[in-house]
Each structure stands twice: as C-alpha cells, then as structure tokens.
Structure 1
Amino acid sequence: MPKQSTMPTFADAFSYSLDAWQRSVLFLDVMRERGAQYEEHRAKTAPNVLNFETELVSDGRTFARPVNYALVRILPADGVEIDPSKRPFVVVDPRAGHGPGIGGFKADSEIGVAMKAGHPCYFIGFLPDPVPGQTIEDIARAEAAFLETVIARHPRAEGKPCVIGNCQAGWAVMIVASLRPELFGPIIIAGAPLSYWAGVKGQNPMRYSGGLLGGSWLTALTGDLGAGVFDGAWLVQNFENQNPANTLWTKQYNLYSKIDTEAGRYLGFERWWGGHVTLNAEEMQFIVDELFVGNKLAAGEIRTSDGTAIDLRNIRSPIVVFCSKGDNITPPQQALDWILDLYDSVDEIRAYGQTIVYTVHETVGHLGIFVSAGVARKEHDEFASNIELIDVLPPGLYEAVLTPANDITEGRELIAGEWIMRCEARTLDDIRALGGNDIEDERRFATAAKLSEINLALYRTYLQPAVNAMVTPPVAEAMRNMHPLRLQYALFGPDNPLMAWTAALAEQVRENREPAAPDNPFLALQETMSRQIVDGLEAWRRMAEHVSEQTFQAVYGAPMLQAALGIDADSSRPPRKAEKSLLHQALVEARISELKARVANGGTCEGLARALLFVGMARGGVDERGFEAVRRLRRAHTEAKKLSLAEFKTLMREQYFMLLIDEEATLAALPKLLPEAIEDRRAAFTALREVLDASGPLTGLAAERLQRVAALFGLDSEPPVSISAGKAERNRKAS
C-alpha cells in the first residue's frame, strides 16, 4: 500500500507555536546576557578569555619603549606535573580586532596540550588600548625581551622556548625570530598569513580587498577618523563579511533552534568575538602597507628603524606551519607560499640550515585552528609531544602526516598518544601543487600595490589635513561607539529599557518550558526554511566573490595601467621574489670546506649518527617511534648522555651536511670513527638496528644501505643481529 502523508494537526501547530514563542523569549534573554557580558568585559583593565589561572611576569608598559603587551605564566591546574627540564612553551596571541586568550580558550587548547606534556607555559597577551606612540617594531622588541625573561627563568630546560604564533601573531613571531634567532626554539605558526597575495582563482577573495578599495588610503582615513586610533571592530567586520550566511543567519539561528543547550557555548564564544580592541593608526598602517598590500615580508623589503633588513632566512629554529583548506581567511597558499618566495629549491633551504615542517588540515576553518578541541587533541597535541623530534630534524622541507596509533603494530610501545606523527620529506613542487598565482597574477597585485602608494600620497596631501582638523578625540570615541558591531551589543544590552522585561519572563519560561516534539512537522518546515535562507546567502556570496575577482583582474591586469605604474610586463621574474645574498653564498662555501676537513673527526656517537642518517635518508622521512628509540638509546649510552640537546642537534646536523656534501668520502671515513674492538662495533650496530627497526622493518634501498653500513662496521661476514637479541644483550650487560 502507498505510504500516506502525515498532515499537521492543530495540536502540532499549538505545540510548535508555544515552543517558538518560548524560544524567542529565551533567545532575547541570551542577547541581553551577551550585552551585559560585553559591558562587563569592556570595563576590565586586562580582559581575556583564558581558561587558566595566570600570574604576571613582565609588563610591557614599564619598558623604555612602552607597549600594551604583557607576559604571564600559566599556573598548572591540580594534577598537572610540570617538568623543569622540558623547554617552555610561549603562546603569542593575535591582535586582529579581538581581545586576548584564544590560544587558551579551552582546556583542550594549545596551552592545555603543552602543559599536559609537562612543559612550562607562558602567554603573551595585550591590553585593549595601545600605548600612544607604540609601533610594530616596539612590540617586536618587547616580545624579544619577554623571551629573554622566559629563558632566564628556565636555566635547566634542554632547549630554547617553543613559540606559538596564531593568525596575526604568526607574522609577528617570524619578524622577531628573524631579528633575534638566538631566542627561539621551534616556532609553530597556526593559520598565519605570510604570503599575502597568494591564493587560488575562484577562492579566497579577501586578498583582493586592498586593490578593490584603492589601496591603503582607506586605512589612513579610518585611523584619522579615530583621532589616531584604529578600531579593531573594522577588522572583525572584515571577517564577518567573508561568511554572510553565518553572520546574518546561521549563528543566530543555531542559538535559537537549540536554545536549551547552546546558550553557554554561544556566550563563551561571544565573550572573545565581541572583545574589540584598538590599535594605533601607525601600527595598522604598517600592517596594511608593508604586509597585506605591499607583501614585503617574504621579499625581505621591510627594514627596522636602524636599517636592519627583516629576512626570514635568518631564522635558525625549525618552523612548523599549520594551515587548512577550510580556512577562508588564511588559505594554505598564504600560509606556505613564502617558502617559494624565499627559496628556489629544497637544497637552498638546507643551505640556510632551515627546517620547515607543514601540515594541511582538510576541513577545519580559521578559528577552528585555535579553538577546536579536536584539533588541539590531534595536531597540537602531536606537535607538543614531538617538539624535540622536530627540533633535531635535518634541515629541509617536510610534511607532518598523522596516523591513528591503533593502526600501528610495529613499535607500539614507543608511541605516547592516540596518533603517530611522521615527518615525510617534500619538495617545493608539493607546495606548488596546492595551487597559487601565476606571473600575471603577481603583476596584478604589484600594480595594486603601486596604485595604493599613489592614492595614499594623494590622501595625505589633499584630504588628511581637513579630516584631522574636524575629528577630535570625543568625536572619534562617539563614532567608535556607533560602530554596527559595537551597537548591536548596546541595543540588546541591559541598559536598553525595552529589554528590562526579558529576564523575569525568561525565568518563567524556563520553569514552564514545553519544547515541541522532535517529529513535529513544523520543526521540519523551520529547518527547510533555514536551509533555503543559507543557500540564498551562499549564492549571493559566490556571486559577489566572482564579481570581485573579475573586477580586480580586469582593472589591475590592464596593460595601460601596469605600464603607467612602472610594472614590467615582459619580466619573467615575480615582483616579490627575495633577493639572493652573495655573502651567504660565500659563508656556505666556507662552511663546506670546514666540514670536508672534519669528515674523519669524531667517535662512536658521530659514527652512529652518520650511519643512522645514511640509512634513514632512504626512507624519505622519520616518525616518532624512531626518535623515541634514539632518545632511549641516548639516555642509556654513557657518551651520548653527556651531550645536551643542543649539542646532539649540532652533531646530527653536521653529519647530515657531510653526507650531502660528499656521501662517498663521508662513508669511507666511517670506520675511523668506530671503536677498534669487534664486540664494541657489534654492540653499536645492534643499537643502530634497534633504532631503525623501531619504525618498521627496512626494505628496498634502506635495507641495501644497512648492508653497506654493516660492511663498514666490519660485520659483513657476521650473522644478522635481531632486535630481540640486541635488547637481550643490553639487558644482560645492564644486570
């Protein structure tokens, strides 16, 4: 028999009407709470959304060049043990319109996973209002001073601090690291834009905004309308504009439709999202001119006040880049293409002694990189747990690949968490495969940057004097309070007399709450209407993005405009490519000569490191099991135990470079580094086998290389030594 459709009844309509009315009352009450929370948060001197107790360590307002930044120590919660020998973690918060605390917004966060791994944790945050006159350079020098303080507080730590820069803090951390590389251990930059023009056609239209607005003159106007203060609410508005469906409908509808369970999460997020801060107009002008429109960071074209060039190739610490294909604010191209701007090959990365590890999430959005508990428990947890592995990786380019630990059988006892991280060697072609600009796109953005300079000069000459004469600080404050994002909190806040009735009525509604049944047909109709609204807003977004892209390409791709602005249309060199350094090339050649002369120097530790690298390079990567085996071997081996982590890292890097420079000569010298006694050589080779087999049995080229190493150890006629036999022999000696 055909299935009969169920017609809505009067009872369904009444139940839904009552439920909808009650949800509306509760929704308005949450809006009232949101407004009250906003005013309370705004009234605090140092508001933040950290989920941890803190103590102030250093206040940037007391510096010779004062800034509104501060360093705080994260106090461990009950049951959390901090190991003083482990390197500290320092999380630097992004100042992109919102208040501080996003890196420690939840227990499962960047701070949370680092503390769980036993690391001391610090947080660099900021106050809502800048110190008058502070600059981006002042902030960079203050952050360097904070790191000096952290290092001094942890003299027993095995390594320099691991520094995490989220979003806008990512480029700030990279600037400091290029100026003061000696202060940094591994650097993790999450969702951080470093190559500002990069992207894929048909996606990520935010990069076109500067050109479509005529450049940075509008930034200068906004700063002047704020009497020298730039309102961060405008930056938040830019983020909101990227997703109109969520901004105009989904966020509010999700609260309304799940009002009985969603209020706490909604208010928690709004506490951060609505914590608007301000910047000095000079700070914001630098960010737009030098970074977003000018794209000068990766090209090495930014200089400090004393003339020092900011060159990211000066960084000596491993750099971990975490980005996502679902991030429409900082897509993978903007997070990774700075590597293409700086280097022509992986060999050039190695020549600078840099280690770059990246991982690309498939779906998580921009904010999810920092606030998603799932991301924290997976990606950030693995980075925190394996930060020492990352620190001793040989120079080069790697992708961090995460695999469920339950899928692993070999070396399971060497895996600490729920995932296993493997760093696989990559080339620049792997970065290019993610998509990016062609040479014509580069010229379009270069044209937009040139036009921006002209428009800014015209504004400053003809309009800025009049604007500055009209806008006084009280007028600027009034305009800030009238910003649409700020106004929405006030309109629904407790100071609005029209909202006075909601609290009492909402309490009555909670006492008599009667939600509609899940199978109520009117709820299904409500969901259908919501999806249609979202689909309509999404269609409008896609159309607007398409028009924006086409307009940008047509205007700034015009040959006449490019010629008028001095853009060379016949050049095959990208306008933003970093210049090569003749001095660096000379230093590299001197270093090569030095290493060649030391190929035969060293002992058993150098010999084992050389053999391990030679065989391991054939695998094209390394995972945490092999490193954990090395760590245990290092603790057990008397000679290796004397080495600090920094010395061990130097040893591994020198042996790696020797193999790269002249593999045959380096291998030929290996027997000279080994002990004379065959028993000692056999014990060393057994230890080597255990480390190599920790990540699974050797096959192919790696197995062939191991046979060659056995011959160099003088063991080619010896029977193969099994791992279990090696363990038994060491246990016998230990007993």
Structure 2
Amino acid sequence: MNSLMPTPPAEAFSLLDPFGFGRAVFDYWRDAVERSVLYMDVMRERGNQYLEHIEKTKPNVLGFDAEVVMDGRTLPRPVNYELMRILPPAGIEVDPKSRPFVVVDPRAGHGPGIGGFKPDSEIGVALRAGHPCYFIGFLPYPEPGQTVEDVVEAEIAFLRCVIEHHPDSCEKPMVVGNCQAGWQIMMAASLEPDVFGPILIAGAPLSYWAGERGKAPMRYTGGMTGGSWMTTLASDLGDGLFDGALLVQNFERLNPANTWWDKQYRLYANVDTEAERYLNFERWWGGHVVLGGEEIQYIVDNLFVGNRLSTAQLVTSDGRRIDLRNVRSPVVVFCSQGDDITPPPQALGWVRDLYGGVDDIIASGQTIVYCVHDSTGHLGIFVSGSVSRKEHAEFTANIDYIDVLPPGLYETTVTSAKERDDAELIERDYLLEFKARSIEGLDRDVLHHRVDDDTRFATVARVSEINLGLYRLFVQPWIRATITPEAARLMRRMHPIRLGYKLLSDRNPLSVPLPVLADWVRRDRHPVDDSNVLRSLEKACSGQISRALDTWREIRDQSIEHTFLTVYGQPLLQAMVGLGGDAHVHRRQPGSEPEHRRFIERRQDELRQRVAEGGIHEAMMRSVIHVLGGAPTTDERNFKRLRASRAELEPGSSLSDFKHLVREQFFILKLDREAALAAIPELLAGERPEAIRSSLEHIEHVLAASGELSEHVRKRYEHIRELFGEALERVEPAASRQALVALHDEVAAEATAEVAARDEVKKMLEDAETKVDPNPAKAGPAKPASRSKKAAVPKATVSKESGDAGDEKPVAKRAPRKPRKR
C-alpha cells in the first residue's frame, strides 16, 4: 500500500531540510550573480558592436561575400542604393545560364543585409539551388533630393544590368522584396513589367486600410496622430532627414512584452548559450539608418494614410500611372498570421481593391499566389531558418512551375512528404500544392473587409490633408528657421534607442571592469538548472511579468481601436470633411471601371476567334489543363512531366514558349470550355494516327504523376479519351484511302511497265523475222523459221500468254503480290 502513495519531489525535501534549502538559496544566488555579470558583459559587447557598425562607410549584416556591380550614386538621378553580386561560398557552384535571383533589402529604419543575414536565408536557398544571386542594398544616408520615384527607377536599372550580365539565360530574374522593398518592387514592375520574372513579396504591405478588427492596431496610427503632419515635423526637426530610429521605436511598441522583458530575460536566463544569437540579431536591429524627409512624406501620405497604391491612384512626376494590374510576372505573396506589422489583410487586400473577381485577374493575364503562415512573426518571414528551409526552399524549387501557372488566384500550402500517402512520388522533403481560390473566399477567410471602415479611413485621409496644410502654414516656417544641421545631429544621437547602445559600451568608464569580471566568471562558472526551486520560481515570475505586459497591450490596443472607430465614425466629422454624401466614392475600385470592362470584352473576343487554331501541342495542353482543373489541388509533379513531354515532342522549345502555350490554352478553356473541348478533334485533324496515340499516352503519363485520380478527374479524362478517339476515327479512314490510292498507283505503274516490255519483245521478234542471211550458199538446208525465231529470242523475255513463238518452255510467272498493311 505504501508503494501506491506518490513520492514527493526533490524540491519538497530541500524545503523540509533547512540545510538543503540553504544550499539551494546559495547556489541560486551565486548563479544569479554570475549571470548578471555575463549579461552586462554581453550588453557591453552589443554597444561596441553598434558603434563599430555605424562608423562604417557601407555597413551591412550580409552573411555572404559580395562585390559591387552598379552604384546607384552614379545614375542620372542618384540614390543611395547599390547592386551587389553574391560570391558563392566554397563548395557551392552556380550555373550562369540559370535564372538569376535578386533580393531587395527593406529600408525601414534598420541597416541593410537582412535578406542574406543567415546561411539559410533567401540568398542561401537560391545559391544552393544553383542560381546566380544579386543583392540590392543601401547606404545609411540618402542622396540630396532623393525621392521614392528615383529609387524605383534605380531598381529598374539594376535589373537591366543583371539581365545584361546573363545573356545566355533565357529567363528573366526572380525578384524578392522583403517588407518595405516589396511595395517598391511592385511599383517598379507596374512601370516596367518586361524586366521582371516571378516576384516574391514577403511581409510587404500593399493595402494599408485593410485589416481585421481586434488585430493589427498599427493601421490606426495615422488616425490617432491626426495624419501625416507629425512625419513632416520629425523631418523638419532632423533638418530634412527622418531618423529611422523612430520607425524602429514604433515597431518595438507593438509588442512591449518582447521589447521590455522577454528578449532581455531570454538572454539573462540562457546567457551561456544565447549570447551569440542575441549579438548577431542586435547587429542588424541596432543598425539605424536615415531616410530623406521627402521620401518618408511620400510614403505616409500616399501609402499609409492615402492607400493610393492598391487603388491605382499613384501617378509619377512624368505622368505615368502606377497600376499594379500592369504587372505581368507571377506574384507570390508570403505573409503570416503572427505578423503584427504586415498582417495578411494588408498583404493581400490589394487583390480585392483592384479586381472585381477572378475573371478580372484572368483577363489581365495575372497569376497571384499567396501563402499564409500560421505563426511566424514579421522578421521570421524572411529571417527564420525554419521558414527558409521550408517555404522559401519550395518557392525557389518550384519557381519555373509558378512562372507557367495559368492566370488566376491560388493559395499554396507546403506539406511534409512524410505526412502523405503518396510519399514515394515526392522527390523532396516537402510538396508545394496550389489550390484555385476566389476573391469572395479570400475576403471571407483572410481579408474580412468592411465598407464602413473604408469610410473611416477616408475620413482620416481628409483630416490628414487639413492638418498638414495647417502645420505647413503656421508651424513649419518657425521650425525650419530654428533647426540647424548640428542640432539635428545632436537630437539623433540623443534618441533613447541610440543611447541604450552607447551607454553600455567601452566608451563608458563604468564598464571597464566588466570584461575582467566576465572572464573570471567563465573560468569558474556554477550554473543551476530547473531542479532548483528558486530558478523555477524565477521562470514563473518572468512568465507573470510577460503576461501582464501582454494584458496591458491588449487593453491599449482595444482602447485605440475603440477610440478610432468612434471618432472617425461620427457622421458629423465625415460630413465636415466632405464624405457625407451617399454618392461619394470613398474607395476607388479600378476593376469596376467601364474602360476596364471594355478591355476584358476585347480580350474575350480575340480568344473566341482562336478556339480552333493550333495543332497537336495545343490539343495536348488544352486536355491536360481541363483534366487537372477538376482536381482540388495541383503541384509541381504534373508540371515536370508535362514539360518533359513537351521537350520530347517538340525539341528546342523554351520555357517562354511553354508558358505562352499554357496561358493561351487556359484562357480559351476559361472563356468557353464546351467549345474549346469540341475543337480538340479539329486540332488533331492533320496528324498521323501514331502521333495522336502517342499524345494520349503522354497525357496519361502526366496525370499519373500525382497518383490515383479522383472520380471527377477520371470522368474528365474519359471525356478527353473520347475526343481523341473521335479524332482517330476521322484520321484513320482518310489514311486508309490514301494507302489504297498509293497501292493503285503502284499497280498501275507496274502494269504500264509490263506493257512496255511486251512491245519491246514484239519488236525484237519482228526484226528477227525480216532479217536476211548474207551468205545463203554456204548455209545448210533451210531450217524452219520458228526454230530460228526461237533461237533468236531469250527465253526469259517470252511469256506463254503473249502468243509468240515460245511454246516449248514458258517463262516462270511472277510470284503473287503480298497484301499490304493498312
């Protein structure tokens, strides 16, 4: 019975034993003091690292060797950006003919290099896949007069340079834009779509009014500050420069538990193992840069407050409209539910803003693929090693498939091969699957759009214009007259975030004993584990502090949201800024405009005329797209087999030709499926039966790549077989008639040859009969004429049926003709 009683934990005995409890207290006290010394020494190293980093001319945290290919400061409109070629590490070889990868770094307050921060970053994944890689970074200070348009034009020039360096590559560069770089790349692609290959935007906000209530409070910031006048004030205080530390401070305020406690306690609790990771991250997080006042004002006014990018309202200084519908490259949107800086609605809301439905996307020839991660944070989208090894690796491996994916809206998921029944058919550890989605489904599952919220944000935009005008009229002249360049630099240096680094460095005399004490502690370290009751109590208290800060954050965010909705939802305020009329359009939707509708109608008319144009390749592609369109998902396995089949059937065809074929046949099927399928026998009308049967075998081979077909897909495939069978029935009788005609012509030719031979024999016999002997006296008795005739004619040339003098031994008849195969 005693054996059934629970055994108390060891901590209980230490509490009952006063000497044991005293030892636990002493061990914990000694460990806590040692950890405190080591923690302060790590903070000292962080300060030294920060000072060393900001004093560099071109600071970045890029984890790969690189060489500058093009300097943006030499362009006609200079910018502080540069194009660098990544030098592959030892043991990694790249193929110059492969598609180049270009990673554009975000310039949102931090220093450059985050896209190639780790070996498992976006650059590392592309290098291991054999692609030549380039990196677009920036310098700490902008060029005088630099604008957002200048940066966009510079990025276009950089891409042209990359294309020139790879003349043997038949594919355009894939461009990766992280965070702020994402919307810059989309702007550039809408202006010059011909220089872009597939585009991956990770954690990039494009629709700034979008969001789900109760989440992402950062979208309310503009309304709570009264608009963009505070941005202008910050730039004026910086003598025309905007301090990036202000943006970093805004990011840190989003999660006070992590900023003020979790991040630092994690280092303190695991200082023996966490120091290196912490210092590596702080090297980038603390590398604050400066933005031009004109740049940041353009961003806040037109994007964050005005939301003009996702509604095609931006116009360049030379009159070009920035319309994201002009992008012709496939766009992959990668976002996360755990991202509080760019939540999924802000990353994907532009799709709903620009298009009235999937048919509009298809008519525009655009392919949009989105992937929503479950939990990773904003930085984890393009920094986390686990994300790079999974999502980014699959995007890179399947980029050719994404490039030929038919136009439309797709959701992609990454599944582990071990979790699937058809694991033997999967080449890698993960499989990237694509599922066609509708805008209505996207709105229901991700966007959660509300029309009344649009009216509130439109009110904020009007209030912002009013407040900005008042500031520029009454306040700005006084600020600019007071601030000098020296005063602006002093204010930047005194920013609390910067002081936190500088005060804990070797430049502070109080930190002189820290390295000596830290070395002494490391030589005789006495750590304790969780079995110590006070260490367990410490972790419990840490958890309570973190949860308390999270609770305060939730209360703060709810209060901000409630205040925003109440203030800017007032009908009186909306009427005062000119938004009270029901007929006023608060949010422009380009997809519903008449000229866009006319464009769609013209495009459809063009496709209707091409339903029956083409041959066997068009018939094959149309059939495969139709059959796979009945499956709930598709993946790269079908694409690989289909492309291999096309290469076998049509050697020398390029990926661009293949992409054009796929997209055109998809358009035709989407426009009129019944007419497109009915035209398949006509497309096969001029082909040989063997070619038709071979094409059908290739289709079967492609469909078998994904394993067993579903019932719906099998029915579609049976329909295709019937259509190919109909084509064979049309072709084979014609082939038989052609064979019979050829056989008849051959027999007639042989008969004509026999008649000619008979005529020649007759002539020879007649010549022999009329021939006279020149010396008849010497000749013997006259012989019968028939014998002389016979002797004069070779036996092989005389036939019994001819009736000539060949009675004695007829020539053998020709062997009977073998029947010909039809």
**Aligned equivalent of 2:62:** 50
- Aligned AA (1:662): D
2:566 matches 1:549: no
Once structures 1 and 2 are overlaid, which stretch shifts more, 624-633 or 308-317?
624-633
Distance 1:192 1:212 in 2: 23
1:294-373 equivalences in 2 (<5 Å): 294-373=306-385
Structure 1 window deviating more from structure 2 (680-689 vs 698-707): it is: 698-707
**Partner Cα separation in structure 1 for residue 453 and residue 322 of structure 2:** 25
How big is each residue's C-alpha offset from its partner over 1:439-463, in whole Å with a ceiling of 9 and x where there is no partner? 1111111111110010000000000
Q: Which moved more, 1:525-534 or 1:256-265?
A: 525-534
Structure 2 residue 53 is matched with structure 1 residue 34: no
> 1:620: Cα distance to partner?
3.9
Q: 1:658 and 2:668 equivalent?
A: yes
- AA in 2 matched with 1:656: F
Is the partner of 1:15 in helix, strand or coil?
Answer: helix
The whole-number CA distance in structure 1 between the counterparts of 2:549 and 2:421 is 48
> Is 2:683 the counterpart of 1:673?
yes
- 2:804 maps to none
Please list the CA deviations of residues 302-350 of structure 1 after superposition, one character each: whole Å capped at 9, or x if unmatched: 1100111111111111110001111111111101111111111101111
Q: Give percent identity, aligned residues only.
A: 54
Letter of the structure 2 residue corresponding to residue 678 of structure 1: P
Given that residues 148 and 298 in structure 2 are in contact (C-alpha distance below 8 angstroms), is that contact kept between their aligned partners in structure 1?
yes
Post-superposition shift, 1:604?
A: 1.8
Tell me how far apart the structure 2 counterparts of residues 439 and 517 of structure 1 sit (CA, whole Å): 55
Distance 1:90 1:285, change over 3 A: same
Matches of 2:600 and 2:581, distance apart in 1: 35
* Matched letter for residue 567 of structure 2: V
Contact kept, 8 Å, 1:411 with 1:694, in 2: the verdict is: no
Please, which of 103, 114, 121 is the counterpart of residue 102 of structure 1?
Answer: 114
- Code of the residue aligned with 1:447 in structure 2: it is T
Checking the alignment, whether the CA contact within 8 Å between 1:443 and 1:569 is kept in structure 2 is: no
The equivalences for 1:518-537 within 5 A come to 518-537=530-549
Residues in 1 aligned to 2:43 and 2:382: alpha-carbon distance in whole angstroms? 25
1:715 deviation in Å? 6.8
Structure 2 CA distance for aligned equivalents of residues 449 and 137 of structure 1: 22
Per-residue CA distance 1:516-565 (angstroms, 9 max, x = gap):
24311110111111111111111111111111011111111111100000
Q: Distance in 1 between matches of 2:621 and 2:43?
A: 62
| Pair 1:281-2:293 in alignment | yes
Report if aligned partners of 1:439, 1:574 keep a CA contact under 8 Å in 2: no
User: How many Å separate the matches in 2 of 1:286 and 1:428?
Assistant: 30
Does residue 231 of the first structure (1) align with residue 243 of the second (2)?
yes
> How many pairs does the alignment contain?
715
In 2, Cα distance between the equivalents of 1:64 and 1:281?
A: 21
Unaligned runs of 5+ in 2: 730-822
SS in structure 1 of the partner of residue 698 of structure 2: helix
Please tell me whether the aligned partners of residues 23 and 257 of structure 1 are also in contact (alpha carbons under 8 angstroms).
yes
- For 1:137-148, what aligned pairs fall within 5 Å after superposition? 137-148=149-160
Change (3 A) 1:485 1:476: same
> Deviation per CA, 1:62-104, whole angstroms, max 9, x where unpaired?
0010000000011111222212332111111110000111111
Deviations 1:477-503 (A, max 9, x none): 000000011010011011000111101
**Are 2:72 and 1:60 aligned?**
yes
Deviation for aligned residue 1:377: 0.6
> Which residue number in structure 1 is paired with residue 700 of structure 2?
689
> Which residue of the partner structure matches residue 461 of structure 2?
449
Post-superposition offset of 1:646: 1.2
The one-letter code of the counterpart of 2:152 is: A
The counterpart of 2:133, out of the listed 121, 135, 148, is 121
Offset of 1:206 from its aligned partner? 0.7
Match of 1:417 among 407, 428, 433: 428
Indicate conservation of the 8 Å contact 1:92/1:125, yes or no. Answer: yes
1:429 matched to 2:440? The reply is: yes
Greater Cα offset, 416-425 or 264-273: 416-425
Q: What's the CA shift for 1:633?
A: 1.8
Write the letter of the residue equivalent to 2:128: K
* 1:477-488 matches, cutoff 5 A: 477-488=489-500
TM-score (norm: length of structure 1): 0.95
Q: Tell me: CA distance 1:503–1:569, structure 2 relative to 1, closer, same or farther (3 Å).
A: farther
1:190 equivalent in alignment to 2:202: yes
* Normalised TM-score (structure 2): 0.85
Shift of 1:668: 2.1
Using the TM superposition, give the Cα deviation of residue 716 of structure 1 relative to its aligned residue in structure 2, in angstroms: 9.7
Once residues 200 and 583 of structure 1 are traced to their aligned partners in structure 2, the CA distance between those partners, rounded to angstroms, is 32
* Contact 1:291/1:297 (<8 A) preserved: yes
CA-to-aligned-CA distance 1:672-693 (integer Å, 9 cap, x gap): 3225322221111010111012
Deviation per CA, 1:193-230: give whole Å up to 9, x if none: 01101111111111101100111000000000000000
2:716 to 675, 699, 705: 705
CA apart distance, 1:593: 2.8
Q: Distance in 1 between matches of 2:432 and 2:116?
A: 23
Aligned to 1:697, the other structure's residue is in SS state coil
In the alignment, residue 669 of structure 2 is paired with which amino acid? Answer: L
The aligned counterpart of 1:730 is none
Secondary structure, in 3 states, of the residue corresponding to 1:28? helix
Corresponding position: 1:644 with 2:662: no
CA offsets per residue over residues 107-153 of structure 1, 9 Å max, x none? 11111111111111111110011111100000000000000011111
Tell me how far apart the structure 2 counterparts of residues 494 and 578 of structure 1 sit (CA, whole Å).
58
For 1:91, the equivalent position in structure 2 comes to: 103
**1:564–1:579: structure 2 CA closer, same or farther, 3 Å change rule?**
farther
- 1:206 and 2:218 aligned: yes
Maintained 8 Å contact 1:398/1:425: yes
Q: Which amino acid aligns with 1:203?
A: K
Q: Secondary structure at the match of 2:140?
A: coil
Look up the match of 1:476. Answer: 488
Indicate the residue corresponding to 1:179 in structure 2.
191
CA distance in 1, matches of 2:688, 2:294: 69
Specify every segment of 5 or more residues in structure 1 that has no aligned partner in the other structure, as ranges.
Answer: 719-735
Q: Is the 8 A contact 2:88 2:94 kept in 1?
A: yes
- Does the 8 A contact of 2:356 with 2:592 survive in 1? no
Q: Does the CA-based 8 Å contact 2:418-2:429 persist in structure 1?
A: yes
Q: Distance in 2 between matches of 1:41 and 1:430?
A: 47
Does the aligned pair in 1 maintain the 2:612–2:679 contact within 8 Å? yes
**Whole-Å Cα distance in 1 between the matches of residues 717 and 447 of structure 2?**
38
Alpha-carbon distance in 2 for matches of 1:25, 1:392: 58
Q: 1:145 to 1:581 in 2, by over 3 A?
A: farther
Give the conservation status (yes or no) of the 8 Å contact 2:459–2:579.
yes
Kindly indicate whether the alpha-carbon contact (under 8 Å) linking 1:682 and 1:715 is maintained by their aligned counterparts in 2.
no
Per chain length, whose mean CA-contact separation is higher, i.e. which structure has more relative contact order (CA < 8 Å, sep 6+)? 1
Taking the aligned partners of 2:529 and 2:634, their CA distance within structure 1 comes to 54
Cα pair 1:191 1:322 within 8 Å, conserved: yes
Q: CA deviation at 1:407?
A: 3.3
Mapped to 1, the partners of 2:69 and 2:408 lie a distance apart of 36
Aligned residue for 2:45, secondary structure, equals: helix
Give the whole-Å Cα distance in 2 for the aligned partners of 1:516 and 1:440.
57
Larger Rg: 2
Letter in 2 for 1:701: H
CA distance in 1, matches of 2:583, 2:553: 35
Question: Structure 1 pair 141/716, CA: closer, same or farther in 2 (3 Å)?
Answer: closer
C-alpha distance in 1, partners of 2:511/2:431?
53
